[in-house]
């Protein structure tokens, strides 16, 4: 079990300590466009970003890889948009 296996957020009212400052914003994003905006992508840079994943043939794997990168950008750089 992980270090926070017994953690109960209902008891403290705060998120677990291993969540970053921007994880709440990531959780609230309900569309791909919202994640792109939080990561600082613009309409001009969107296409170039997704072209980097064009070699991944399986669409769900391509999306998963892109979304993981978007989330990492948000966590690293904060909300840039």
Residue 69: per-residue pLDDT = 94
Task: Give the angle 60-32-66 at the CA atoms, nearest 5°.
Answer: 50
- pTM for the structure as a whole: 0.67
Give the pLDDT of the chain (81 residues) as one tens digit per residue: 344 455 555 666 655 555 566 776 777 788 888 999 989 999 999 999 999 999 999 999 999 999 999 988 888 875 444
Distance CA 26, CA 75 (A): 9
Residue 16: per-residue pLDDT = 54
Residues 77/40, Cβ–Cβ less than 8 Å: yes
């Amino acid at each position: 079990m992980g270090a926070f296996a017994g953690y109960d957020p209902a008891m403290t009212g705060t998120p677990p300590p291993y969540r970053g400052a921007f994880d709440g914003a990531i959780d609230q994003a309900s569309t791909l466009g919202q994640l792109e905006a939080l990561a600082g992508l613009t309409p001009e840079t969107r296409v170039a970003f997704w072209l980097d994943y064009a070699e991944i043939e399986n669409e769900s794997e391509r999306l998963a890889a892109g979304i993981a990168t978007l989330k990492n950008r948000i966590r690293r750089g904060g909300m840039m948009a």
